[in-house]
Amino acid sequence: MHLSQGLFLLSALGVAFAASSTHEVKESVNPPRGWTLHSVAPAHHNIELKIGLPQPNFPILEKHLYEVSDPFHERYGQHLTKEEVEALVAPHQESVDLVSEWLATHDIRESDIQRSPARDWVTIKVPVRLAEKMLDTTYHVWVHDASGDSLVRTTSYSLPKHLHEHVDVIQPTTMFSRWKAHKSTIHDVSPAPASLTGPNAKIDASCNSTITISCLQQLYNVGNYTPSADVGNSIGITGYLEQFANRDDLQTFYAEQRPDAVGTTFNFVSVNGGLNNQSADAAGVEANLDVQFAFGLSFPINSTFFSTGGRPPFIPDIGTPEDTNEPYTEWLDFILAQENPPLAISTSYGDDEQTVPENFARRACAGFAQLGARGVSLMFSSGDGGVGDGDDNPATQTCLTNDGKNQTKFIPGFPASCPFVTAVGGTEFIEPEIAVFFSGGGFSNFFARPAYQDEAVKKFLDTLPPGTFEGLFNPNGRAIPDVAAQGERFRVFLAGEAISVAGTSASSPAFTGIVALLNDVRLKAGKPPLGFLNPLLYTIPEGFNDITIGNNPGCGTEGFTAIPGWDAVTGLGTPNFGKLKDLVVGY
């Protein structure tokens, strides 16, 4: 080859590489409502970038999920193994190679990369200055007006053109979710009345003012059912944002409400450096609520509390670099890598769906689908804003969209809006049990209504007078909640004192405790665990106490109304364990 030919070839290759490396916008969002631009992000601030590679075979996994979750399908209960699920979500090798080559151009070696077991997520830790170069963007510090929380985010990022089809999502970039506990701030924490019920008492009027384990057992027809500790059953609670479950408080709770459990405790698992601070002043209301009622209801089933480290807010005037990431993605990564995750897991955290970029919401939802296919039941609280946004006071909700149009819309919550999880709304009182006003409910703007709830939701929509809430919600979206449970006046022990707590953050662990008992029924009968619940639940509405009183106001409206059958306030209703245990063992 002549020198001139070689120079021409090298020049051509350089032009070709430059053309293939031309950045084009991958994602762009409008500046988020309720957040104020504070400053340019410090160049040395560390970011843990998570790069999601496409999952080309996810539709096949979804097909498997619905087959093993459909009680009328011959494969019902034949859950997939961890390895089978990972094979179905693995990216094409071309995507792995091209993303690796791109990272190498920025001096990021294989030893700097963490890969998920399925190789569909790539995680790297880089300073802001490198992230900005890689993504052709500028990061800023944004401050949340109402809370003062700060995040390092951008409203747009780009990738080389040839990578667009090989990357689904990169975060943290455009996600402004605050991932807060679903706990009512109106009826939040107050001194609790003296308990009038004991572990063997009949349901009585005291349960209108104080919810205890006994109240839930009687109200949901648990009776004297005794689960086993040795049939392979398990239940889990997720904890975030330095919410610590206090073991001494659990013992105090057990002594009063579950004396047969005194002296026992939960397994503790640290995720992403999550701590286990057992000092009394570090005890968390949310964590204590969750473990006391979920584990109290399901005792002696094997129980685990996951403490996940990481907190998105960043303090801009501190010079020490900190990681900026959404902590629940850390938990999802961790739990997907486990061989034997708990069979029923409750999460009482979330945020408005519109604060989560749709491509990221879909990837997180796909992670929940993987767990469901493996036989795990996932419960998420539906939120405490009624049909409105995260403001718990219906009178002050703005309910404006984040798409730059500032339209008034009902605001669903995520992850409750994911069709692969069971969303739990809230109720209160007994005889009759009614919808609590803050019960989050509505329709997703990201996810279409799944087939399993078509019939029930269509019946509900048909009851709405023509023009009701026209333009305020997406009638074709995934509808929430699926079910409900008590959400007011839970008697919780915190730092040795009894307090009263409310929110759908109470409803989710309560319902999860019932699910753990139902798994016990199936396991004792030699059957597999329930796994992804929704396709089954919508076929057995007779297993629920239908809630027909109440509504969930928000956005300047009265919200939806609880009616016979499914509704967008309490879903199918609250569980009747006595009926459900006979129904679930029949499949």
Show binding-site residues for Ca(2+): 546-547, 565, 567
Alpha-carbon distance 256 to 201, whole Å?
A: 13
Nearest-CA neighbor of 427 among 345, 366, 483, 343?
483
What residues are annotated to the active site? Answer: 286, 290, 505
SS3 (DSSP) at 28: strand
Helix%, strand%, coil% for the chain, nearest 5: 30, 20, 45
435: which DSSP letter?
Answer: E
The two structure tokens encoding residue 575: 């569980």
336: which DSSP letter?
Answer: H
SS3 (DSSP) at 71: coil
The two structure tokens encoding residue 216: 């839930």
Residue holding tokens 């399908």?
Answer: 73
- The counts of H helices and E strands in the chain are 14, 27
Dihedral angle over CA of 217, 219, 225, 227, nearest 10: -50
Question: Helix 82-89 to helix 58-69 angle, to the nearest 10 degrees?
Answer: 140
Backbone angles phi, psi at 436, to 5 degrees: -80, 145
Beta bridge partners of 36: 143
CA–CA–CA angle 537, 542, 545 (5° rounding): 95
CB 421 within 8 A of CB 332: no
Dihedral angle over CA of 412, 415, 421, 423, nearest 10: -40
Q: Half-sphere exposure of residue 105, counting CA atoms within 13 Å on the CB side?
A: 14
The two structure tokens encoding residue 240: 């975030």
SS3 (DSSP) at 123: strand
Nearest-CA neighbor of 67 among 91, 84, 92?
84
CB crowding 465-490: b at 16 or more within 10 Å, else e: eeeebeebbbeebbbbbbbbbbbbbb
CA–CA–CA angle 250, 251, 255 (5° rounding): 120
Cβ neighbours of 23 (radius 10 Å): 15
Alpha-carbon distance 585 to 536, whole Å?
A: 12
Alpha-carbon distance 382 to 348, whole Å?
A: 8
Question: Helix 504-524 to helix 577-584 angle, to the nearest 10 degrees?
Answer: 40
